[in-house]
């Protein structure tokens, strides 16, 4: 169900990820440890339900839906957010654009 989104994200977002090794392999430790891949269904759902030209609307919903359930968020704060440690936070505009592109292709 999310294969098209996952493939597009791996081709457009993961290739820019700071965690990628020199051999082009994810350096986070596995796809299930990457917040972007782990929360892909939730992120796709957020992007699909919001129709806005303002990125803050998407970020606000990301923080309300995904960040509150992330394992990095034990006390209500995120040590990785804003420090280039969370791929969702770091690449979110690119993620949103990629999901919108896949969504448009599926609708055509």
Total number of domains in the chain: 1
**pTM of this structure:** 0.81
37-66 pLDDT, tens digit each:
888 999 999 999 999 999 999 999 988 888
Total count of residues recorded for the chain: 108
59-97 pLDDT, tens digit each:
999 888 888 777 655 555 565 555 556 778 888 999 999
Q: Residue 30 — left, alpha, or beta (φ > 0 → left; ψ -120 to 50 → alpha)? A: left
Domain that holds residue 47: 3-107
């Amino acid at each position: 169900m999310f294969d098209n989104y996952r493939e597009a994200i791996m081709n457009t977002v993961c290739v820019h990820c700071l965690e990628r090794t020199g051999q082009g392999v994810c350096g986070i430790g596995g796809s299930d440890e990457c917040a972007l891949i782990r929360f892909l269904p939730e992120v796709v759902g957020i992007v699909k339900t919001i129709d806005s030209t303002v990125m803050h609307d998407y970020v606000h919903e990301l923080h309300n839906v995904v960040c509150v359930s992330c394992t990095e968020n034990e006390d209500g704060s995120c040590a990785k957010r804003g420090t280039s440690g969370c791929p969702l936070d770091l690449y979110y505009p690119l993620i949103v654009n990629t999901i919108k592109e896949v969504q448009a292709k599926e609708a055509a």
